Every structure is written in structure tokens, then in C-alpha cells.
Structure 1
């Protein structure tokens, strides 16, 4: 019932606008919308004209917002069907598909730049896209009714088939008449999008096969573990990191990287004075003044021993965000490189300051 009333209302509005355009002899002019000319013909150019134009602007804004409300949801459904990256299926704390919204905003920006902000050049894309969508949806309903065959399905098939034919013909006419005006873009993009969906779905299918999704895995077995803690000095951060490492693994090794002998000797002396039980200190020489690569190489060698290796990276974090820029980010950089280049379990251990 709602759909019928909406269709009748839209039909009456369209016929009414056509009658008014013919009565007032309204023709397209550059920089002046048809609706603005109709409003001026009906109310003049006084305050009713501006009030009506403001309402039309608000309605058009709401109409533009429907794309940001609908397309991210559609992209989420495609992501759930493994035809788009699963990132688009994620929601923020509010029930909004923010990645889809951001993607649509960037795509809209690129389209505006491509047409030099001349929205008239986008009308063929919009019109053909609408008729293509209508045709596909009507054909989908025809298939639905013919597959389910509920009571009274024949008249529904006829209605949807008629709609598919009409919208398909209208889309074909627009495509033929506006091909050089930008409609060619739809002809190129539709096959590319279908190819993209197929490739993404194939990737997720292969990933599911490799991860043995849907099958019960073998019982887990315990293997010896080694926890590696990169440190540069003996302090409160080292105390907490070593204590956490001792509670996580069978063996704990602290790795310290130095490029000069003085720093290495100072670290060794401080370590011998602290002397934590059951923890070994390995000092790695770094002639190129690099911290990340020596630690990565050390972890790679440790992973070859058949043990489960974990790397516990301490990271100092001030309480206030304004102070975080004053702390170095070597821990985050080291964790990122280790995650991408080794098979070790990489953990960031935050040490929160009171500042």
C-alpha cells in the first residue's frame, strides 16, 4: 500500500511539473534551475521565492544524504558476501559504516575534480545508473517470484517483468544518446566492478581453504617458549617488562643493542648489579647505529630453533596526549617491523606515566 501511494504521489508531482513547465514556457538556462524558474513564475521574486528555494535546497541536501546512508550499507552487505574487503563491514562505536562513508566521500571528491565541478556532466552517469539498478532489481524480483511461486505470483511476475523491460529500454536509450557525453564510463566500469568482485571473492575463498574454515582443527600441543625483551637500560620499565616476560614464557632473554663499547659496558655493569634470576642478557653490536635491524635479525635466528618465540616490547606512554610527541616511537616501529618480517608473537607492553 505504501509503495502504491508513493508511486501515485510521484506520478502526480511529475505530471504537475510538466503542466507548469508547459504553461509558463520554462526552458533550461545556464545558472538557473527549472524549479527556480517555476517558483519565480508562481510567486514572483519576493520572500516566498527565497523561502521556497531554501526548502528545495534542504530537500536536495537530504536527497544527497541518502547516498551516504545507502551505499555504505550496500558495501557492507557485499563485504559480508566476500565481494568487497571485510573492512567495509566494520562499524564504528555508533552504528555507522564509517569506512564506506569515507570511501564514498573520496570517490565523490574525485568525480567532482574529474568533471571540474560541472555537475551537469554527471547527470548521464546518474540516470543510467538509476535505470540499470531498476532493471536489475526488477529482474531479481521476477526470478524471486518464479522460484518461490507463492499464491498470486503470476501477476507479480508480469508487473516486475514489465518494469524491467521499460527501465531497460529507457537505460538503453540513454546509453545510446549520451554515450559520448559520459555514458561510456558506465560501460567501462560495470565489467571492471564485476571482475573486481569476482577476484575478491576468489581471494577470500582461497584464504578460507588455507585457514581450514569450517573444519575442526587438530588438538593444540604445547611447545617450549622463549620471550625476548628489547631493552636499552635498567630502570623501572625494565623491571616491569622482565617481570611480565617471566610470567609469560619458559625462558626469558633481554636483548640490548649498542653501537659503542662504553654504553655496552655500562649496561653490563648495571645488569650484573641488578642480576634478575633466570634472565640472560645478550648485548648485540650495531656498528651502523641501528636498533631495529639487529633486533629483527636476532629474533629471526631465535625463531629457527623450533620454539614459540614472543617479543615483549615496552613502550612508555604519558597520561596526557600532549606529552606523547616527546616520547620516541621506536617501540611501535620495532613491533611493526617484527610483525611483518618474523613469525614471532609481538606484544606491546605499555608503561603509563603519571604525567
Structure 2
């Protein structure tokens, strides 16, 4: 997509004039020709360093000579084009190649650095440092089906300690939450965080960081109930606080974030529509039964 966008931009800048655009084409083509021929020369040099069969060596030497000849003349044409057509547009292609080379080199260095950083140490599993305890925190705003599912999931995880955390954004809502919590007899302690500015993200972040500061060897598992919706505009209306929290918690060492999804009716409807599109048969075609589809699946397997 980036290449297509850049090509469209060049076509617009040069007014689709092939006489002006040919300068960029010539530079790209002869750079590719020259580099490919040089690469083949290096290839034959590597093979000749280990090959002992005389017949094969003669073939390699002949091939290396052909590629050397090609690299010389394509390189010569490239130099001529760069000198004579540089101010006519060849500089654009040269600049683009340098930018792409620098970008791809930086990306490669980044991947190499990440691979080195996350490489497993030369030690057995018993030598690896384990957390002393796991402290699970379930974020609660109201008692509804998603919250109850998240609480049930947290109980199954059997953490060392488990608590529910809510942020006091509205005193009346918080009071109603406490009353319903006690009425239902939920056997998980509920902790309410004060938020004088009606902010949800910062109190939770500060509380989690406080847990980490008290017990640096403990792992804090933050469990967040989330809605699964079926329409794009519903994403704007739901899960915004959860997204902000996850984005901030990702930068906190020793904190694990778990999303517990709850599928709304719109997501179920979207899933059914997708299934109908997959099963749709064009007019004139034959619908295959389960036996035929199972046969195709087994043959692919």
C-alpha cells in the first residue's frame, strides 16, 4: 500500500509524463541489475571456496565471468544515467532508495535487538525466578453479567489473594454497589478507590503501582470485564476506560492484564451474518452437504 501510494504521488507530481518518469525507472532497473549481478559473483565465490570437482569449478568460473561482465556494464550504464539524468529526476529514485534502505535497516536492527532481549537464558526452568504470589484485582463498575463472569473467572484462577476494585465516581452509584454487593453475599472483598475528579484510570494505576511497591516480588493480575460488540460505532461507546487502562498498565512491570469478554446480542448477530455469508451459494452452483464438506476437510488434512 505504501508503494502504491508513493507511485500514485509520483504520477501526480510528474503529470503522468512518461518522458520524465522514465528517469526514475532507468535508475531503479539498473540498480537492480547491478546488485543482482554482484550478488551472483559473491555466490560463485562462496561455492568455489569449497568445491573440489574440476568440472563443476570450470562451470562456476565461467558463470562468475559472465556475471562479472554483466555487473561491469550495468554498473557503467547506471553511472552514466546518474551523471546525465541526476537533475532530470534521477535524484528522486536515488533518494527513495536511500530512505527505504535506512528504514528497512532500522527495522531489522530493532527486530535483532528485541530478539536478543527476549532470548531465553541458558538455565533450566527451576533456575528461573518465579513470583512469590499472585494478587488478582477484578475491576468492577456495577454488578452485571460481565462483572459476575469476570469474578467467576478470577475465582477459578485460584490466586493467592483476590479482591474487587471499584472507583468512586458517583457516591450514589457507589453506595448502591456496596448495598447490592452485601445483599448478594459475594465472598470477594470490595475495595472502593476515591476519585475526586471523577477519573477512573489514574486511581486504578496508582493503586496497582502501590501493590507492586509493597510487594515487588508479587505479580498483580488485573482482570477487566469487556463487552464484545458487533458494530463499529459501538466500539466508540464501550470499553474506552478498559482500553486506556490496558494501555497504561502495559508499561507497569509485574502487572498482567486479562480481558474477560462478554458477547452482546449485536456481536451474536454479526457472527450469524458472517456465517450466512460463508454459507451463501451463488445461483447455478450446487450446495454441498455436511458429508461432502467433511470429505473435503479430511482430504486437506
Q: TM-score, normalised by structure 2?
A: 0.74
Alpha-carbon distance in structure 2 between the residues aligned to 1:326 and 1:128 = 47
Structure 1 residue runs of 5 or longer lacking an equivalent are 1-101
Structure 2 residue runs of 5 or longer lacking an equivalent are 49-55, 267-301
Alpha-carbon distance in structure 1 between the residues aligned to 2:121 and 2:131 = 24
Alpha-carbon distance in structure 1 between the residues aligned to 2:19 and 2:150 = 62
- Does 1:253 find its partner at 2:160? no
Q: Report if the CA contact (8 A) 2:34-2:75 is conserved.
A: yes
- Does 1:301 find its partner at 2:200? no
Q: Report if the CA contact (8 A) 2:27-2:94 is conserved.
A: no
Alpha-carbon distance in structure 2 between the residues aligned to 1:243 and 1:266 = 21
Q: Report if the CA contact (8 A) 1:313-1:346 is conserved.
A: yes
What is residue 244 of structure 1 aligned with on the other side? 153
Alpha-carbon distance in structure 2 between the residues aligned to 1:246 and 1:175 = 70
Alpha-carbon distance in structure 2 between the residues aligned to 1:119 and 1:297 = 61
Q: 1:123 to 1:217 in 2, by over 3 A?
A: farther
Q: 1:120 to 1:288 in 2, by over 3 A?
A: farther
State the SS of the aligned residue for 1:290. Answer: coil
Deviation string, structure 1 residues 150-196 (Cα, Å, up to 9, x no partner): 33112211211111111111111111111101112344444444444
Alpha-carbon distance in structure 2 between the residues aligned to 1:140 and 1:326 = 52
Q: 1:283 to 1:203 in 2, by over 3 A?
A: same
1:125 to 24, 33, 38: 24
What is residue 288 of structure 1 aligned with on the other side? 197
Deviation string, structure 1 residues 24-46 (Cα, Å, up to 9, x no partner): xxxxxxxxxxxxxxxxxxxxxxx
Q: Report if the CA contact (8 A) 2:221-2:256 is conserved.
A: yes
Aligned-residue RMSD, C-alpha: 2.5
Q: TM-score, normalised by structure 1?
A: 0.64
- Does 1:205 find its partner at 2:112? yes
Alpha-carbon distance in structure 2 between the residues aligned to 1:132 and 1:261 = 70
- Count of aligned positions: 252
1:172 to 62, 65, 79: 79
What is residue 111 of structure 1 aligned with on the other side? 10
- Does 1:265 find its partner at 2:175? yes
Q: 1:179 to 1:145 in 2, by over 3 A?
A: same
Flag the structure with more relative contact order, 1 or 2, with Cα contacts below 8 A and sequence separation at least 6.
2
Match runs of 1:1-355 below 5 Å: 102-149=1-48, 150-151=56-57, 152-212=59-119, 215-216=122-123, 219=126, 220=128, 221-248=130-157, 249-277=159-187, 279-304=188-213, 305-306=215-216, 307-318=218-229, 320-321=230-231, 324-325=234-235, 327-330=237-240, 331-341=242-252, 343-355=254-266
